[in-house]
């Protein structure tokens, strides 16, 4: 099968690679770019462990082709922290114990990141609905909801301080 040259901005860095048209984004990220934060879980887009952000949208990388990202900007969990400082979402998940085994955590973090961009002051019910495409087998979700709520507050405080 003939490879196609794609150019993708991943976490602020332009990556050009030749990929087979059938290459899934999750495999491109993990195998070609060595970005192993996004996890391969169900491979059917049900669990959300592979969630990344593409051009301002949460996307399950296990069912998205790498060639579909040609010319796009992709943010992975590796792109959240800046300058050695955790992103507010990462810090909140840590402080509120929003993780247990950690397998779902990268996808949860990326979904929470995008969700809070779209809804900066959510209710608990909105958080549950907004995060519903990401599954966790360990936490029972209570601390995930608390973590997203805490991250929202941290992001609002940072925005206020910057103004």
Q: What's the pLDDT score for residue 16? A: 98
Q: What's the pLDDT score for residue 163? A: 83
Report DSSP state, residue 69: G
Q: What's the pLDDT score for residue 18? A: 98
Write down the pTM of the prediction: 0.95
- The pLDDT tens digits of the residues spanning 94-103 come to 999 999 999 9
User: Residues 6 or more apart from 23 whose CB is under 8 A from it?
Assistant: 65, 66, 67
Encoding tokens for residue 75? 């943010």
Residues of the chain with pLDDT under 50: none
Q: How many CB atoms lie within 10 A of CB 55?
A: 12
Q: What's the pLDDT score for residue 68? A: 98
Q: What's the pLDDT score for residue 106? A: 97
Encoding tokens for residue 79? 């792109």
d(CA 92, CA 152): 9
- The pLDDT tens digits of the residues spanning 26-43 come to 999 999 999 999 999 988
Name the strand (E) or helix (H) holding 92: helix 88-95
Q: What's the pLDDT score for residue 105? A: 96
In contact, 148 and 112? CB cutoff 8 Å? yes
Domains of the chain: 4-79 (3.10.20.30), 88-158 (1.10.150.120)
User: Residues 6 or more apart from 113 whose CB is under 8 A from it?
Assistant: 53, 75, 80, 87, 89
């Amino acid at each position: 099968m003939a490879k196609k040259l794609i150019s993708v901005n991943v976490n602020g860095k332009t990556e050009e690679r030749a990929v087979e048209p059938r290459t899934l984004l999750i495999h491109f990220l993990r195998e070609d770019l060595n970005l192993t934060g996004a996890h391969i879980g169900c491979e059917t887009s049900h669990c959300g462990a592979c969630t990344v952000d593409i051009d301002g949208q949460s996307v399950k990388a296990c069912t998205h082709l790498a060639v579909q990202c040609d010319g796009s900007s992709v943010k992975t969990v590796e792109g959240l922290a800046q300058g050695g400082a955790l992103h507010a979402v990462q810090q909140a998940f840590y402080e509120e114990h929003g993780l247990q085994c950690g397998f779902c955590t990268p996808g949860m973090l990326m979904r929470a990141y995008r969700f809070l961009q779209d809804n900066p002051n959510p209710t608990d019910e909105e958080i549950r609905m907004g995060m519903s495409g990401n599954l966790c087998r360990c936490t029972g979700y209570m601390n995930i909801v608390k973590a997203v709520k805490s991250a929202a507050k941290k992001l609002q405080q940072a925005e206020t301080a910057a103004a």
